[in-house]
Amino acid sequence: MSLSEYVSLGRSGVRVSPLCLGAMTFGEDWGWGSTVEDSKKIIDRYIGLGGNFIDTANGYTKGHSEAIIGDHIGRHPSRRDRLVIATKFLTNMYRGDPNGGGAGRKSVIGACEQSLRRLKTDYIDLYWMHFWDRFTPIEETMRALDDLVRSGKVRYIGFSDTPAWKVAQAQISAILKGWTPLIALQLEYSLLERTIEGELIPAALEFGLGVTPWSPLRSGVLTGKYTRESAKTAKPGRGVFVTRAFSDEAFNVLDVLIEVAREAGTTPARAALAWVAQRPAVVSTIIGARTMEQLEDNLGSLEVKLNAEQIRKLDDASKPKLNFPHDFLGRVQAFAYNGATINGQPSPVNQASPANDEERY
């Protein structure tokens, strides 16, 4: 597979590369990240190999991430129009201003105008709600986004980091009211964060939403550069983004990942990315490369295809504990299907059911 083997993003007509270039590390304004020049080189390398999907947000590096993309891409219409540029609203850029962020109409439209200015473009291809704003009715947010689409300033919309029940409410509201529906979800997903498999992945499959995983390497932990021993004294530049994943359970998963990578003749990072790419509903995985070396290693994952046994090993090692009623529903399949095979999936026999017609009242 290559970056130019494009895929449809959810139930939509927009086509994107199987790996999305994440721009959270563009700019050094947070004390870590890529220089402006390195960011431009990473963009050029990605595009040169056929990549067409770049993801940023209004709050990344205090707005500098968007500005870097705008200066390098937005001011050149012929280059810009060949790309799918995604950004996000919700981050409050004005301390103490209650309307400076969030998902209310005032904030959504204001943030869009500011992102358009920084990106130096007339339109945003995919506009994400960065996370759920519990103080704003979802109908207000969806109507404001619909207005932006109708005005031509936004092409498609999606949600990031939002509960499945809220995603469902938003999508049903849009469908019933004739507003622009969501086409994608951006969610944290990796071998060390699989709990979205309980509600969010099934919701994405049900509503035809493409999933674009973020932090598929859990902030670098799944690259194998940290060990149980080095984790005790490690002081990564991204701080808690990395150290939050240090645990015995995480290193147990990493042990299996390293073993599988060795079997597959690849690196742990590439194997971890390949595992994510092969999950249900996943369309385009977001890679956040701070250096050219990291970009090249991540892009190498497109050449990796894990076999069924390798996937099973990683699945077993990283199996998550999901919320009720996930496990319960798995245990009661016999009551509904009673030994029948449906859509290729067999079910156990309900031993408490009548064995024949004579036993049935």
Q: Are strands 7-8 and 15-16 parallel, antiparallel or unpaired?
A: antiparallel
The single-letter code of the amino acid at 18 is P
Which single residue is written with the structure tokens 């973020």? 214
For residue 89, give the H/E element and its range. Answer: strand 84-89
Region for 139 from its dihedrals, namely left if φ exceeds 0, alpha if ψ lies in -120 to 50, beta otherwise: alpha
State how far the Cα of 204 lies from the Cα of 157, in Å rounded to an integer.
14
189 in catalytic set: no
State how far the Cα of 124 lies from the Cα of 110, in Å rounded to an integer.
14
CA angle 342, 348, 352 (to 5 degrees): 125
State how far the Cα of 29 lies from the Cα of 35, in Å rounded to an integer.
9
Of the listed 46, 60, 127, 156, which one is catalytic? Answer: 60
* Tokens found for residue 42: 């990473």
Nearest to 236 by CA among 212, 218, 211: 218
Three-class DSSP category at 3: coil
Q: Known catalytic residues? A: 60
